[in-house]
């Protein structure tokens, strides 16, 4: 069956920006004296957001049945 895209354009942009921001904060929060556990958690969450943006697939969306991509029928309206 494979992975079917279920993350649309605007959703991908938001996920990418938020994901990269969380990774950035996670990396530099360790340098600012914050505990390393929260830094690792921020990087992990940011990585998940970034990967779902890159691959246009979110397993949670698939489980719930959400799809934010546009179909050809949606574009013609």
Residue 1: inside a domain, yes or no? no
Residue 67: inside a domain, yes or no? no
Residue 5: inside a domain, yes or no? no
Residue 64: inside a domain, yes or no? no
Q: How many domains does the chain have?
A: 1
53 close to 15: Cβ distance less than 8 angstroms: yes
Q: Is 0.85 topped by the overall pTM? A: no
Residue 42: inside a domain, yes or no? yes
Q: Which domain holds residue 36?
A: 16-58
49 close to 14: Cβ distance less than 8 angstroms: no
Residue 29: inside a domain, yes or no? yes
Q: What is the pLDDT of residues 9-39, one digit of tens each?
A: 999 999 999 999 999 998 887 666 667 888 8
């Amino acid at each position: 069956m494979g992975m079917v895209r279920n993350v649309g354009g605007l959703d991908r942009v938001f996920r990418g920006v938020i994901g990269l921001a969380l990774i950035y904060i996670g990396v530099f929060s360790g340098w600012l004296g914050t505990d390393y556990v929260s830094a690792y958690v921020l990087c992990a969450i940011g990585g998940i957001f970034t990967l779902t943006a890159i691959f246009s697939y979110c397993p949670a969306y698939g489980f719930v049945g959400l799809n934010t991509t546009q179909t050809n029928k949606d574009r013609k309206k």
